[in-house]
Amino acid sequence: MNSWLHNLPNFVRGKDRCTLKIHPEDAARRGIADGNSARIRSVAAERIVTVELSDEMMPGVVSLPHGFGHRYPGTGQPVASDHAGVSCNDLVGDALDLPSGTSVVNGVPVEVEALPA
């Protein structure tokens, strides 16, 4: 549902919702301020994402809750493509949860670093 609603102009207004939420102490240790861009890297991929400081996050944990990622050609979603954001699925890659045999959707180890000034 988020994917097709993301192609409606009324639903992509306002502030950027595709942000990497990180605890303020973790961001400070990395030299990242609220609203800065940072590099997030997993074994599958790396992406540049806007950072949002949030004390709702536990130190050592980040969240990319609205990672739409409509940046691939041929989707037929012009509004969504203009507001693509970063897809958390790109960072997961093809990792499988061994007990269930399904794709991993959370608990993916990542590194976050400030971009050079």
The domains of the chain, with CATH numbers, are 2-114 (2.40.40.20)
pLDDT of 107 reads 83
- pTM of the predicted structure, to 2 decimals: 0.80
pLDDT in tens, 42-83: 999 999 999 999 999 999 999 988 766 677 777 777 777 776
Asked if residue 15 has pLDDT above 90, the reply is no
As a whole number, mean pLDDT of residues 7-21 equals 78
Helix (H, G, I), strand (E, B) or coil at 70: coil
- How many other β-carbons are positioned within 10 Å of the β-carbon of residue 36? 17
> Contact, 91 vs 64, CB < 8 A?
yes
Contact 99, 112 (CB under 8 A): no
∠ Cα 41 69 46 (to 5°): 15
22: Cα separation from own chain's centroid: 11
